[in-house]
Structures are given as C-alpha cells and as structure tokens.
Structure 1
Amino acid sequence: MTPTITPNTHRATFAIGDERTARRVVDLLNESLDDDQAAVAAFERPDGRWDVSAHFAEAPVDAAIRELVALAAGDEVAQRITFDTVEAKDWVAASLEDLFPVPAGRFIVHGRHDRARIPANKLGIEIEAALAFGTGHHGTTRGCLLLLGEVLRSRQPQRVLDLGTGTGVLAIAAAKALRRRVLASDIDPVSVRVARDNARLNGVGNLVETICATGFSAPHFAIRAPFDLVLANILANPLRQMATPMAAHLAPSVSVILSGLLPHQAQGVIAAYRARGLVLRRHLKIDGWSSLLMQRAA
C-alpha cells in the first residue's frame, strides 16, 4: 500500500464550560472564517464541559483568533487557547491498528484485519486507505450510510451519483446493495485513485466509475443523468453552490443525501435545495454532524 501522507495542519484548541457558549464561539468562528480556510467543531466531554477545536490549512494569526473567541466567550477563555501544529504523517499506517468495524444499518465498514468477522447478513465495505473521515468512523459517513439504507428499503434507484467520493465508501455501498453502476467523482486525483482501488478491493470495480471533476463540469454527468439517487458528503458552502447545477441533473423521483454539515449549517443547505424543488425527509445528527435526506416535493 502506498503511504498516504497528509500535510501539516495548524490547530487551535480550548475548553468552555457550557454548551450555549461553545456553540456561540463555533458560530462566530464559522461566520468569520471561510469554509476552505478552517474547520471548526465542538464536542461535549464526559464532565459536561465542551472542547472546541479549529483546524487551519495555513498558520492562523493567533491574536486574531483570540480576539474572535473573546467576543463570544470572554478574555479568560481566549487566553487559554492552545495553538499547535499537527505534523505530516502516514495516518493510514498509524490508525489501522485501532480501526474497528462500524455498523451503519445494513452496512458495516471495516478494515482488512476484520474481514472474517463480518456477519453474513451485513454488506461489508472494506476500507484500508484513508483518514477516519472516509472510513465510516466519521459521523457524516455513517449518517449517509444510514440514510442510504432507508432509501433502499422503499425503492431501487437506477442512476446513482456519489459526489465528492473521497475513499469511495458511499459509492461502494450503493454498488454492492443495488448491483448497478455508480458514478463517483472527486476534485482530488488522489481520492479518485483511492476510491477506484477500494472499489476493486470490494468486488465492485466494474460497477463504480471514478472521475476527477469539479462540480458538474465533466461531460460524464450529462451522459449519466438524470440521477435518481445522489450522495454528496462534502461541506456546506460547496453544497449550497452546487444546488442549481445539481438540480439540472436530477430525475423527478430523486433522493438526495447531503452531509459534511455542522448542525447550524443545515438550515442554509435545506433552504438552497428547497428552492430547487426538494424537501427535507430526514435529518440525522451523529457525533456533532448533520446528514440530510432530501426528495422531490410531491
């Protein structure tokens, strides 16, 4: 396996005593920082306090971050912020030993070392080459798999798109469950290669077509449209921006599963797709992340 080395990222972390203040800080940071500049999240600790973390692609200006936090939580909290760097590392090799199978309805995501332990009544998805965000251990991936299972209980989509496929988990799940072709796209050529390799590993290499594309620019989308099932586990801003071009590629009976959203971002995404004729059917919240099932309004 080729090592997957992630670049250095910069991190700011601090603790807050109550949920309301934590969410106020997260909201302010998300409003003040671009989605492609930073990722901010808050999680409750067993003692009732909240841990807040912000990850940056580029080193932030410490004073500016402290000033934003002080506005929402006060100077004392702002002065407790710790800034550090998460060094480049082969996270695949480092994390596989601790990777445990993750059930998500009829699906179960696992590593090679657990291949023999998958129950016969589950659809196993074997993933060995990604960070937790793409292995099923992340709340967004699990939310999408649960919603996919819900859709498949009532219908059998014919044309499936996995937009922003990452490691290919969702595309593989759909291909295994439906035994139909799935188009899987990502803007990152490394992700496209990983998704292709994982599809072959799971025996659906002939069903999952992987392409490198930004948005809906590639001709493959028009050729394979209209889609009656779309899975898009990305981020809030790209999802809002792609609502209009996505709508042009959808079948009348479409189900659209969206994730990569913090709970406070969900309403904005729901509104963007409602304006294109889709209504919310389910809203799952798992591990501090939201996953949405949208369908055409009757």
Structure 2
Amino acid sequence: MPTYTALTHLPGREAAEALAEACEDLTPEPVGTGVFEIEDGSQLWEVGAYFTEAPDEIALALLAAAHGAQPFTISELPEVDWVAHVRRELTPVRAGRFHVHGSHDADSVPEGVEALCIEAAMAFGTGHHDTTKGCLEALDRLEREGFQARRIADIGCGTAVLAMAAARLWPVTVLASDIDPVAVDVAAANVIANGLLGRVECLEAAGFDHPILYQAAPYDLVLANILKQPLIDLAPDMARHVAAGGRVVMSGILTTQADEVAAAYAKAGFVRPDRRDLGDWTTLVMTRG
C-alpha cells in the first residue's frame, strides 16, 4: 500500500497545531498528523500529514494559505520494509567499551567488549546516532574515572540502550522511563534480550512523574538523551532529584544549543560542565553542586 506525506512549516506551535487539526477534516482523511519543532533556532514548526490515498493537493494548498504556512510538499513513499532495511544497513557501533549491534550481527561480536543487542524498532536509540554514542562514551569515562552510582535513572529512555549500559557498569537496578508507551514496550523487550531482567525496570512516565521514580530519589546518576527544550524544562526537577555530587549525562543537543542548556543547569545548581562534541551534536555531563 503506498504512503503519501504532506509536509509544511510555519512559525509558532499554536498555529502549527491548528493547521494539523484542520488537516484531519480533509477528504481523503490522513491516517495521522504530526507537529514537530524544527530544532535549528528558527522558531519554525513542521506539520506533517500522512495518507494511504493520494491527498487533495488543492485542499492542502488552501489550508496552507489560510494558516500562513509554506505550501505543502507532497511525496509518495515507496513500499519498503523499513525495519528490514535498517537492519541490513546498520553496522555495529563501538562507543568506549560498548559494542552495540543487531541480532543479525550477534555472531561477530569481538571479545572484551560490553555487547548490547538493539534491534531497529519504533523507539530511539540504536547507538548509531552521535547523541547515543556520546552518552555511551560518557558512561564509559565516568566508570573508568572511579565514579560510583547506587541510584540511576534514564529519563526518555527510548530503546533503553543507555539504561542497559549503566546496568552493565554498576551493580544496581536502573530505572528507565519514557513518555511513549511503544518505547517502554521496546525497552522492556530489549532488557530481556540482553539478559538484564530485574536489573533495568521500564516505566511509562513524563520526566520524573512516577511514584517509583520519585521514591528512588535522590539519584547519583541521571541519563537524559532527549532534546534541548525538554532538557531545559527539566532542569529544576533534575536539581530536586539528583544528589549532591551526582551527575547528569545529557544529549539530544545541537552544538549551537549546548551553551543554553549548560546555562540552564548552572542556574539550577549544577557545576563543572564536561562538554564533548560529535559531529553536530553535544553531550554534556554536569555535577550537582
């Protein structure tokens, strides 16, 4: 079955959400719509509508004009088994002592590494993105430097690759949470596949908003590979939930955004920012003062 996408952008979240809602009244009706902030400092928001029938181009043009958006770009996507495609294309990744691979590469894991098997799935975090790789390398450095963590949380865990990596480094049960129930299910399956059942507990939660996360605080180590604005919004909560001397490892941050995130955490009481850049992305490690 072919899939069609219609994408546009315009300034302001409210305007974008209004346009996405208006798209739902189209005929043929989209099977889904989405609104995403474009993380380049432009203050623009992308609106996407997804169809299984060719959309009405005239109706989309009228909607875009009425809402002050750029004209929709309409594309027909080929029928591809994307998970199978990604599995073929993804090669193992080395990040510090960690070797992240799919099950199709399980027979070629080298000796002397911490192997983590992550399948291509509907959750972020296969180890191939520089944000995930940067966080894995940060965890490796912390342990090698002698940092000890007794309470660990992974906020916005995606596939739980970071939570599982932490569980391999420190003999504790790591709490891994995500706001997306699909991601939580994927994370739980990965935990079992990697032999870490009982060592990583997967929870559905926004930030620290879960009784188990609240009761386990204060944390010695919090991992958060999400995006700039959610990280900034979380800074006061991080300060409340991280113990004095504890670390927070953050990514999902463009290099152009790193100073703003570091400043928000400095304001919340975190010190000694350790910044490492990989490509266009930054990983920050900061200490609770």
Give matches, 1:1-298, under 5 Å. 32=11, 37-40=36-39, 56-58=46-48, 61=64, 83-85=73-75, 87=77, 90-130=81-121, 133-154=124-145, 155-297=147-289
- In the TM superposition, residue 121 of structure 1 has moved relative to its aligned partner by 1.3
* Structure 2 Cα separation of the partners of residues 140 and 276 of structure 1: 23
- Report the CA distance shift for 1:130/1:10 in structure 2 as closer, same or farther (over 3 A): farther
- In the TM superposition, residue 207 of structure 1 has moved relative to its aligned partner by 0.5
* Structure 2 Cα separation of the partners of residues 208 and 109 of structure 1: 17
- In the TM superposition, residue 37 of structure 1 has moved relative to its aligned partner by 2.2
- Report the CA distance shift for 1:173/1:152 in structure 2 as closer, same or farther (over 3 A): same
1:184-207 Cα shifts (integer Å, max 9, x gaps): 000000000000000110011210
Q: Is the 8 A contact 1:10 1:86 kept in 2?
A: no
- In the TM superposition, residue 39 of structure 1 has moved relative to its aligned partner by 3.4
* Structure 1 Cα separation of the partners of residues 161 and 287 of structure 2: 22
Amino acid paired to 2:73: F
Say what the alpha-carbon RMSD is for the aligned residues.
3.0
- Report the CA distance shift for 1:252/1:116 in structure 2 as closer, same or farther (over 3 A): same
TM-score, normalisation: structure 2: 0.76
* Structure 2 Cα separation of the partners of residues 277 and 40 of structure 1: 26
- In the TM superposition, residue 11 of structure 1 has moved relative to its aligned partner by 5.3
- Report the CA distance shift for 1:86/1:196 in structure 2 as closer, same or farther (over 3 A): farther
Q: Is the 8 A contact 1:163 1:231 kept in 2?
A: yes
Q: Is the 8 A contact 1:227 1:249 kept in 2?
A: yes
Q: Is the 8 A contact 1:134 1:167 kept in 2?
A: yes
- Report the CA distance shift for 1:288/1:61 in structure 2 as closer, same or farther (over 3 A): farther
Total equivalences in the alignment: 249
- Report the CA distance shift for 1:57/1:208 in structure 2 as closer, same or farther (over 3 A): farther
- Report the CA distance shift for 1:57/1:290 in structure 2 as closer, same or farther (over 3 A): farther
TM-score, normalisation: structure 1: 0.74
- Report the CA distance shift for 1:267/1:89 in structure 2 as closer, same or farther (over 3 A): farther
Identity of matched residues, %: 42
- State the secondary structure of the residue aligned to 2:195: coil
Q: After TM superposition, where is structure 1 displaced by more than 2 Å over at least 4 residues in a row? A: 7-12, 32-41, 54-66, 81-91, 129-133
| Structure of higher RCO (CA pairs closer than 8 Å, 6+ residues apart) | 1
Structure 1: unaligned runs, 5 residues or longer: 1-6, 13-28, 42-53, 67-80
Q: Is the 8 A contact 2:100 2:118 kept in 1?
A: yes
